[in-house]
Structure 1
Amino acid sequence: MYVIRPVPKRYAWGSYTRLQSLFSDEPALAAADTGDPATGAVDTANSPLAEMWFSGHPQSPSQLIAPDGTHTTVLDAIRERPEYMVGRRCSEQFGPELPFLFKIIAARIPLSLQVHPVDFEARAGFNAQNAQGIAQDAPERSFHDAEAKSEMVVALEPFEASVGFSPISVMLHNLSMVSHPLAARMVDALTQRTLRIGQTPEGFEHADAMMPMSSMVWPDSRRRIFRAFHTAITAGPVEGLETQLRYASLRVSDPVARSAFHHALAAAAAFPNDPSVLTLLMLNPVSLQEGESVFIPAGIPHAYIHGMAAEIMNNSDNVLRAGMTVKHKDIPRLLHTLNCQPGAPVDPADARFGDMATRDGDLIVYTPHIDEFMLAYGHTGPTAAAWPVMDRVLRRYGALLRQLARGRIDQGRHKPRIVLCTAGSVRCSSEMDARELSAGQAVFIPAAEGWVSVESCGGGSSDGGSFLMATTQV
């Protein structure tokens, strides 16, 4: 069992307090980490802290401290002993690497409007930028590796996001309420039907020219969504948008629409005159309470608005941005990978029944349809009784949940695991080792250490805590 040190990431959208409080004993926060202002990173210790990476990514590997006190990195330790660290099956399927990237993030203001590339776009983009000689840390680089990237978020406190396209009827309702020429143009894009493939409504030729080849088999509704999205992200700076959004929000009665306008207004305040904030009226507003989650497959447009959450994804740092950012935007590649299919956000806790009770606490397991990662969030000891999300789980599954056998929280054998204590204290045990963790402390548990259990440290009324466990599904 290794102590694992997170890698701090300082970006302008981060929090001044949330991560600093959780990781108050982390040595890396005692001094500023280096950054590049051209990419949006800030290199002063008093700057916002946006993310803490538990990582085996080549550009930001976490440090590991072995029981004997020796230091290495996740990357080097796995390369030296892949079967011991990540297990035979994981190593054979993904190679000698940690197949997931686990983060804790805290957003003070909205993040960029973005899409993550699908597999062929990631490979093609990474190889093309390598051939062009673009440095790995260059601000204009979009592809930092050749991996597709899907991700999942689990809220640690109330968390707001906009994820995936809503139905066209909802988009039209929201946009038609905004008295602004750009919103009116987006409404035109959504309402002008085309009866034949290759037929382009007047004024949208540039949008159609940027559609991927796959658009030849799209239904007309997806092409209309593409044109409206393109209209917003390719427009120049606009005046008066925040004012018109505010006027429109005062007339909104539907709670879902109110959330969409709330997100758009937050983005407009953070990024004045940025036309891409109107796309948030096209997306599904998501409001998560602690323990609730959303899965975001590659190609799905999204923007995080506010809050603190655990985030787990493929071992990739590829991001294609369209707006609401000071960082590099790659609109052509984003449009080529954009999924224009409307759909409700995916709750990975519902992907299969993964919730169970434990001897002294509660655990929810989040299992998206992807082999590279899964996540568990648990409360142990007396604190578990006050976890509202478990009340919702009990209401949803009723007697089925109550019939589950009670025992310690056991997750995974013969695969890599990262356990992070998020509040109080917990005891983490494997077949070979055990360690007590307090808030902000984490361990990496190699596959060779067998079964892992997490429970409260003792029997006192004040004992107990919360934890996250990141691992794979293979």
Structure 2
Amino acid sequence: MYPILPVQKRYAWGSHTRLQAMFGLPEGPGVDADGVRSDTLAEMWFSGHAQSASTILLPDGAQRSLTQAIRSDPMGMVGAEDSQTFGPVLPYLFKIISARIPLSLQVHPLDFEARAGYNRENAAGLSIGDPERSFKDTLAKNEMVVALEPFTASVGFAPISTQLQILRVVDHPVAQRMADALLARSFHRSVTPEGFERADAMMPVSALAWPDSRRRVFRAFHTAITAPPVDPDELTPALLDADRRISSRKAHDAMANALQAAQAFPGDPAVLALLMLNAVCLEEGESVYIPTGTPHAYIHGAAAEIMTNSDNVLRAGMTPKHKDLANFLRSLDCQPASPIDPSSSMIATLAMHNMVTYRPHISEYMLVYGRVEPGSAAWPLMGRIAHRYGDLVQRFGPRRLLVPQGGPRILVCTEGSVCARCQKQEMTLNHGQALFIRSDDGPVDVLRAEPGSTALDGLPAVGYGSFLLASTPR
């Protein structure tokens, strides 16, 4: 087990206090690994990504890049199974994030689009660090978010009837044009409704097999992200007036997300695209899984985020960064669908006395969120999980859930103190500290730290704590 130091990412949307408090960092301006100076802290990366690798601390006091350490000893660091499947790399990227204002409206590219885009930009001579570059690696990115506090987002397309219900009451020309696009039926794929020729020209080749409903969603979304800047003194009042006139909770949540985005990005018509998406409101311990191609925007809150080892992001609005509409639209999944959460068949959530495990049906990662306390008192979070996912918890619990006993694991203490114990050694972490656990460390128990014992930072531990454990599935 090695102490691991996260890479700080200081983006404009980050928090002034949340991550600073969790990781024991001073508030105020700082410089991240890319040399960006900012008084916000947005993400803490526990990473084996080539462009932003974390540092591990070796027993002799030396520091080493996690990517270098894995390449020099892949069998010991990540294990034979993961080495054979993924190569000498960490197959996931694990982050703690905190959004003070909304993030960009984005999708992650499909796997073949990621490979093609990466090779295309290399051939064009764009450096990896070029701000105009969209594809930083060849991998698709599927990601999962677990809320550490109330967390809001917009994820995937809502039913068309819900989209229309909201857009029709927004008295703004772009919103009305979006509603027109949703209503403009075409019974022949070769026929484009008048005025939407530009949108149809940007549809991917796969659109030849789309049903008409999906093509209408594409045209409406295209209308929002390609519209010229609008007068914020017209857009915000239109959203506020519409919010007063709608009655459904889902519509109010979607409108709240759009209003927050309109305040953060005045005059950007792309905020209207959020009215087409599912509003997601997570409480602590609740989760959402975001496959490639799913449009989404994180709005507010702190969360754990884990994904395939990719930094590919295609943006379409709500950002000062590079927008790549053509590639965004080529990867866009226009199928309306409910957000994928742990109660669905796509992701298995197993709950026990003090630990919840989130495991999507992919081979790169899983995540555990747990708590250790004195005595046998149940973690209050478990009551909320049981209330929301009652049938699932009843089906799988109570029972002992075995944490993966091999493979590369990253343990982060998010509150209080925890103790990590394997056959070879034992280490105590205070909040904000983390360990990289080698595959050959074998089984590791996460236990209550003895009050007063010394943690990695030299400070005394307390007798309770929360933790996150990222790993590959076993």
Do these two structures clear the TM 0.5 threshold for a shared fold by scoring above it?
yes
Alignment CA distance shift 1:168-1:253 (3 Å): same
The question of whether the paired residues in 2 share the 8 Å contact of 1:194 and 1:201 is answered with yes
Whole-angstrom distance in 1 between the partners of 2:160 and 2:30: 49
1:404 maps onto 2:399 in alignment: yes
Alignment CA distance shift 1:394-1:401 (3 Å): farther
The offset of 1:466, in angstroms, is 0.2
Match of 1:284 among 273, 278, 284: 278
The question of whether the paired residues in 2 share the 8 Å contact of 1:292 and 1:389 is answered with no
Whole-angstrom distance in 1 between the partners of 2:130 and 2:429: 38
Match of 1:445 among 437, 440, 451: 437
1:347 maps onto 2:341 in alignment: yes
Whole-angstrom distance in 1 between the partners of 2:445 and 2:196: 57
The question of whether the paired residues in 2 share the 8 Å contact of 1:34 and 1:43 is answered with no
Partner of 1:39: none
Whole-angstrom distance in 2 between the partners of 1:30 and 1:383: 41
The question of whether the paired residues in 2 share the 8 Å contact of 1:3 and 1:65 is answered with yes
1:93 maps onto 2:97 in alignment: no
Cα deviation per residue 1:148-196 (whole Å; 9 max; x = unaligned)? 0010000000000000000000000000010011111001100010001
User: What secondary structure sits across from 1:105 in the alignment?
Assistant: strand
Alignment CA distance shift 1:458-1:374 (3 Å): same
Partner of 1:464: 464
Cα deviation per residue 1:355-407 (whole Å; 9 max; x = unaligned)? 2425xxx10000111111111000111599474431133341465565424xx
Partner of 1:122: 114
Whole-angstrom distance in 1 between the partners of 2:375 and 2:20: 23
Identify unmatched segments of 5+ residues in structure 1.
37-41
Counterpart of 1:16 in structure 2: which amino acid?
Answer: H
Cα deviation per residue 1:108-161 (whole Å; 9 max; x = unaligned)? 000000000010000000000011000111110001111100100000000000
Whole-angstrom distance in 2 between the partners of 1:271 and 1:399: 44
Whole-angstrom distance in 1 between the partners of 2:10 and 2:29: 13
The offset of 1:71, in angstroms, is 1.4
The offset of 1:82, in angstroms, is 0.7
Partner of 2:204: 212
Whole-angstrom distance in 2 between the partners of 1:93 and 1:416: 13
Partner of 2:369: 377
1:49 maps onto 2:41 in alignment: yes
Partner of 1:436: 428
Partner of 1:255: 249
Whole-angstrom distance in 2 between the partners of 1:29 and 1:383: 39
Cα deviation per residue 1:338-361 (whole Å; 9 max; x = unaligned)? 000110001146545542425xxx
Partner of 2:159: 167
Whole-angstrom distance in 1 between the partners of 2:159 and 2:317: 22
Whole-angstrom distance in 2 between the partners of 1:433 and 1:462: 20
The question of whether the paired residues in 1 share the 8 Å contact of 2:262 and 2:268 is answered with yes
Alignment CA distance shift 1:168-1:2 (3 Å): same
Instruction: Count residues in correspondence.
Output: 460
Which segment is superposed worse, 107-116 or 460-469? 460-469
Whole-angstrom distance in 2 between the partners of 1:105 and 1:20: 11
User: What secondary structure sits across from 1:162 in the alignment?
Assistant: strand
Whole-angstrom distance in 2 between the partners of 1:313 and 1:77: 21
Alignment CA distance shift 1:424-1:34 (3 Å): closer
TM-score (ref. length: structure 2)? 0.93
TM-score (ref. length: structure 1)? 0.93
User: What secondary structure sits across from 1:467 in the alignment?
Assistant: strand
The question of whether the paired residues in 2 share the 8 Å contact of 1:165 and 1:283 is answered with yes
5 Å-filtered alignment, 1:300-319, equals: 300-319=294-313
Partner of 1:144: 136
The offset of 1:473, in angstroms, is 1.7
Alignment CA distance shift 1:277-1:31 (3 Å): closer
1:79 maps onto 2:75 in alignment: no
The question of whether the paired residues in 1 share the 8 Å contact of 2:181 and 2:216 is answered with yes
Match of 1:357 among 338, 352, 356: 352
Identify unmatched segments of 5+ residues in structure 2.
453-460
Counterpart of 1:268 in structure 2: which amino acid?
Answer: A
Whole-angstrom distance in 2 between the partners of 1:380 and 1:12: 34
The offset of 1:232, in angstroms, is 0.5
Partner of 2:236: 242
The question of whether the paired residues in 1 share the 8 Å contact of 2:348 and 2:360 is answered with no
The offset of 1:70, in angstroms, is 2.1
Counterpart of 2:152 in structure 1: which amino acid?
Answer: E
Partner of 1:321: 315
Whole-angstrom distance in 2 between the partners of 1:231 and 1:130: 31
Cα deviation per residue 1:183-232 (whole Å; 9 max; x = unaligned)? 11001100010001121000000000000010010010000000000000
Partner of 1:9: 9
Whole-angstrom distance in 1 between the partners of 2:119 and 2:376: 48
The offset of 1:452, in angstroms, is 1.4
Whole-angstrom distance in 1 between the partners of 2:177 and 2:376: 51
Whole-angstrom distance in 2 between the partners of 1:53 and 1:256: 32
Whole-angstrom distance in 1 between the partners of 2:442 and 2:296: 37
The offset of 1:242, in angstroms, is 1.1
Whole-angstrom distance in 1 between the partners of 2:347 and 2:223: 38
Cα deviation per residue 1:240-284 (whole Å; 9 max; x = unaligned)? 111100111111221111000000000000000100000100000
Counterpart of 1:2 in structure 2: which amino acid?
Answer: Y
Residue identity over aligned pairs, in percent, reads 55
Whole-angstrom distance in 1 between the partners of 2:246 and 2:380: 29
Cα deviation per residue 1:82-111 (whole Å; 9 max; x = unaligned)? 111001110111111000000000000000
Counterpart of 1:32 in structure 2: which amino acid?
Answer: V
5 Å-filtered alignment, 1:150-189, equals: 150-189=142-181
Whole-angstrom distance in 2 between the partners of 1:388 and 1:346: 24
Match of 2:413 among 387, 406, 421: 421
Counterpart of 2:111 in structure 1: which amino acid?
Answer: D
